[in-house]
Structure 1
Amino acid sequence: MKSLNLNIPHYPMLRFVVRHGPWLAYVIGIGVFIAAFATLPTLGAVPTVGLGIAAGVFVFVVARTLVELVQLITDMLLPK
Structure 2
Amino acid sequence: MASWWQKTLAMAAGVAGLAAGAYYYFVQRPLPKKKGDLIIEGLHEPVEIIFDRFGVPHIYAENEDDLFFAQGYVHAQDRL
Q: TM-score, normalised by structure 1?
A: 0.34
Higher CA-based Rg:
2
Relative to its length, the structure with more helix (as a share) is 1
> Which structure: greater strand fraction?
2
